[in-house]
């Protein structure tokens, strides 16, 4: 008898039999999540993954910890010292798997939150240029598996979203997301700097989309000197076009947290005008000074 079957029989001894399918599904989904290289449950993190099954009986809570590597029930004597513990509540959590737009989706988490998250993920998949092979959303962690063993990691907490790329270049991730980036931008009030970098790279796909990006995220935050420079030009859109032409030629996969723009003005003979577009976890900021010029323009 396989270890999974023995473990399932042991767990059913501790919990009502009506939870057998739910427990079985939770073990299967967790086993898939463990195999995802960037998963918080993957052994490469250095932690032993443990799933705690919980059931409430009135004022009493019964918890049974299970090793997801050895597939056995743990106790205080064989509990690993370095562990990553996830609690699966048999009363309120849900688990399952299904296909959506040819994407295999597995999920585990709070029933109400999972339903809301499914709707958001479905919208993201609908807007993506390239559909992921598999999506695993594990409580507030979402892993999108793309072709070539590439991964995009999303961490969602309410209206906050954090993006992290694993083994995938920003330009490839941008092409994969496509218009889904705009959907994410409008849906979540808080994003991290990695997301704003992707949004910036996406804006460089056309001059019109870059102007929209510039007018929304850069222009309102220009200081008086920077704003006066644009307003003194015959048409600031000419500047945006020139800026777009320069930025579209840079290696977008090497973009860091700051886009340094240096403008050498011929007349009047002033010092160079700098514009620093900075990606932060609180949005996009514009600075007067730059650390390093990514592009230099002569106007």
Q: What is the 3-state secondary structure (H, E, C) of the chain?
A: CCHHHHHHHHHHHHCCHHHHHHHHHHHHHHHHHHCCCCCCCCHHHCCEEEEEEEEEECCEEEEEEEECCCCEECCCCCCCCCEEEEEEECCCEEEEEEEECCEEEEEEEEHHHHHHHHHHHHHHHHHCCCCCCEEEEECCEEEEEECCCEEEEEEEECCEEEEEEECCCHHHHHHHHCCHHHHHHHHCCEECHHHHHHHHHHHCCCHHHHHHHHHHHHHHHCCHHHHHHHHHCCCHHHHHHHHHHHHCCCCHHHCCCEEEEEEECCCCCCCCEEEEEEEECCEEEEECCCCCCCEEEEC
Lowest mean pLDDT among 95-99, 190-194, 207-211, 237-241: 237-241
Q: What is the pTM of this model?
A: 0.92
For the stretch 31-52, pLDDT in tens is 999 999 999 999 999 999 999 9
**Is a pLDDT exceeding 60 seen at residue 1?**
no
> pLDDT grade, residue 112 (50/70/90)?
confident
Read off the pLDDT band of 268 (50, 70, 90).
low
């Amino acid at each position: 008898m396989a270890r999974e079957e023995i473990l399932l029989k042991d767990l059913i001894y501790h919990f009502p039999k009506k939870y057998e399918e739910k427990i079985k599904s939770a073990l299967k989904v967790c086993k898939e999540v463990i195999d995802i290289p960037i998963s918080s449950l993957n052994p490469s993190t250095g932690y032993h993954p443990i799933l705690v099954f919980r059931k409430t009986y009135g004022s009493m809570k019964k918890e049974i910890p299970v090793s997801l590597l050895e597939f056995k029930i743990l106790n205080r004597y064989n509990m690993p010292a370095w562990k990553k513990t996830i609690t699966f509540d048999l009363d309120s959590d849900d688990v399952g798997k299904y296909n959506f737009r040819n994407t295999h989706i597995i999920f585990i988490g709070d029933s109400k939150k999972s339903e809301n998250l499914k709707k958001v993920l479905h919208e993201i998949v609908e807007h993506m240029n390239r559909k992921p092979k598999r999506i695993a959303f594990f409580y507030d962690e979402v892993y999108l598996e793309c072709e070539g063993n590439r991964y995009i990691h999303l961490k969602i907490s309410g209206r906050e979203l954090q993006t992290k790329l694993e083994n995938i270049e920003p330009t490839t991730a941008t092409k994969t997301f496509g218009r889904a980036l705009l959907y994410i931008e409008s849906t979540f009030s808080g994003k991290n700097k990695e997301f704003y970098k992707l949004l910036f790279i996406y804006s460089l796909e056309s001059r019109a989309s870059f102007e929209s990006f510039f007018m929304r995220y850069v222009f309102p935050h220009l200081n008086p000197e920077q704003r006066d420079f644009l307003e003194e030009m015959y048409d600031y859109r000419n500047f945006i076009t020139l800026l777009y032409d320069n930025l579209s030629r840079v290696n977008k996969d090497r973009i860091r947290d700051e886009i340094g723009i240096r403008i050498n003005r011929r007349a009047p003979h002033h010092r160079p005008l700098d514009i620093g577009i900075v990606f932060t976890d609180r949005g996009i900021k514009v600075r007067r000074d730059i650390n390093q010029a990514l592009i230099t323009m002569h106007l």
